[in-house]
Structure 1
Amino acid sequence: MDDDITAESVDVLPGFNLTSNSLWDTVPDDITDDLIFQLDTIEAEEQARVPAAPAAETPAKLPTDSRPSPVRPKRFASTTEAELQRLEQARHEKKTVDSTAWAVRLFKDWCKESNLPQDFEKLPVAELATLLRKFYGEVRKTNGDPYSKSSLCNIRSGIQRHISSPPFQRTINIMHNEEFSNANNVFDGSLKKMKREGHDITKSHAAISEEDLDKLFAGDTLSTKNPVSLQRLVFFSLQFMFCRRGREGLRDLNKDSFKCEVDGSGIEYLTPTCNEHEKNHPATVNEQYNRKKKLYATNDAQCPVQAYKLYLSKLHPKCHALYQQPKKNANSHDPIWYNNCPLGHNTIGNTMKEISLDAKLSQIYTNHSIRATAIRVLNAAGVSDRIICSLSGHRNINSLRSYCSDASDSQKREMSVALHVSKFSRKQASHTISAPPDTPSNQQPNIAPSVRMPQPVPNRMPQPVPNRMPRPVPYRMPQQVPYRMPQQVPSNSSRMPVYQPPIAGQIVQRQSPTTLTTAQTTGTATATASANVLNMVAPQQQGFPTLFTGCSFEGATMNFYFNN
């Protein structure tokens, strides 16, 4: 037993070693056996708790030429059927997919309530057209109100996308095919009825007025004094200068989305680092996207480039998102103003709404109002439509009409004042208007203290253009040539008398070829002559010559007519 104890070292107490001869010399003989028994028991328990290590296997040595070559990484990715379906659905925007699902669900709910088949995707064309014709006339909201114009258009477009997409892939078009003309007539009639009844309240995103723009930059709402105002300044500058859409791609922006560069003139500007996914530019095969937007520095208190650089220096280093949650109790000396958490979709989408409330603007604006304001400002500055489209991303210049068709508030005020001044000037021309006794004649009454009345615009109506039509030429009647009776040519046997035209008031009667008698008469008479009598009647007009005007034959009578 002594040989077994001394064969290995057992630590009973710190600093003691049972293999030491000096230790055995100090232990009494009466307790040696008990101590050895306890040590054996402890050692057995420790070995039972610790599992025995497996024996190491000696690897077999392979020949040099038979060893396997190192595994190379795969070049091509491996995809499942579910991943392929997600890629196939990714060709549509998420909002488009949600709108399509909402339209199909609404159509099926109506079919279920009307006890009609819900699998409309497989119906014949004639039955589907009849079903849609009734659906367009009966579709309503949950509260019974009719849908707006844009909602009805989205419903019809969503149904068309659903039946033309996999797995149905029908080639019909419910908006243009002749078989659906009756259904589309009901659809158009519903829109017109809605407008007549005053239910069409669709409004576009209003542009920010000039007064509200001045109020925004005059206060501390957009400044570099605190984390919230700095973030709003950067947000407004990027949306306004780059003419970005309201909510598109805001959550996907990160610290590397923009970079600072210097042009050939040494002016610093901000530009995007990549082509973002936009609604009008969805990265199709035929897409040509070579636009490079630039946001130049203004070197003032609200310079967008300097504000962006300051904003990047205050962001949290562990968060890669561009828009992060601001700290509540941050001061100007803190190196980090934002938390390690990005802003949510709804928070970024309502940024302009919060700015409008904080700055106490005249109305609540949306993020898309910034884009509308940028397009209107560029159009008022005389920038061509092609250059504006290069910044806004519109494919067709006709799309800008919805932004620039309406007049601004200042222009509407000028028109109102011009119409009022025109009415006032007409009234003043016919009546004398005197000022009230309490109001000076050269001072306008205080109509609304909070409204800044514009200065009256002078009447600039165009002066009437004088009539430059050629003067009418007086009509000149051709002078009548007096009739001269032809002279009778005398024969060789006898000389015939010459007939002269009678004067006024005379009746000449021919009784014989050689005899003429004259009788005085007044007025006008009708003469009747025989074969040998010729009567010539003329009215008596003293002081005017009598002219022959014509003659007529009545049987054997020849009448001569004269005029003064």
Structure 2
Amino acid sequence: MASVIDSALNPPLIDFRYATVSGLSGDEMFIESVSSNFERTGDDLTALIADCTFSEELEKLFSSDPETLCNLDELESLAAQLERDNECHSTVSKEKAVINRLTAWLAENNLKVDYATASVEEIAKWVRYFYATLRKSDGSFYSPNTIVGIRAALFRYFMKLRGLNIIAHEAFHSANLMVKNVCNAYLKSGGRVQHYEAIESDDLVKLASYFDRSTPTRLQEEVYFNVLFYFGNRGREWLRGLTVRSFREKALSNGAMAIELQGSTSKNLYLSKITAVPGWNQEDFFLRPKPRVNADGIWYTKVPVGINTLGPLLKKISSNANLSKLYT
């Protein structure tokens, strides 16, 4: 069956409009998704979490006599180790680099702040000044992607250290306004925002052939691509939040039907497949494809696909379909 993709269409896939620097106070997942200056890895944490088993030490602990489970320090140690083992290494390294830079900046100004015990207001004050002084080695402003990435790293650090949300906490209002001001300063100084490349027409033809809907994976990839291509929004965090109720048809005044995240034949076929999954929660839209279809005809599992898989999926599709470049 032919794909619904029209190879003559060639709009930009995603359009970051940093000229207004809108949404900078959005949630952490959005911030992480746009921090492209810090190169993201393709760690599939969703698959890891779904497939992981208890370590022998943890199994032994929980199979012991109930009275032996009172050692909370041991439980905390095991839990902390599990968290460390499953944290993305590149994310940790970025976080350390940013906090080291903040610490070095404080030292240069003859300041020493105990991040664990300092008041929220004190931390907010120095973070605001830190944002204001961020410059490249040549004295030019960093791009909005970099500035937002730096704030994302600080967010993760303070959330883990003391549960302090430097994005939502009212004490950081001025600091977050400074993020916006620094981003605007970059644009006013002649900086340009890098937009995603438009998909070339020849590659659209290749994709139309690649999306043959012959397997659970290819059907899901086509639906994923169509959602991004026609309804592309900044970031990827919104994909994980899609549900079957996210799609709607709308009749226009001229009688034509406009589609609001709805209306492709691949999507309808996909819906018929996920609604057939036993135990499906009737909410999650992207479910994990089965590696092979059994005699029962079920294409997907009830396990949702996480953002760490959805985020880089277009790059994987580009490689599998032998496109001229790896689109992101």
TM-score normalized with structure 2 length: 0.49
Identify which of structures 1 and 2 has the higher relative contact order when contacts are C-alpha pairs closer than 8 Å and 6+ apart. Answer: 2
Structure with greater helix share of residues: 2
Give TM-score scaled by structure 1 length: 0.31
Greater Rg over alpha carbons, structure: 1
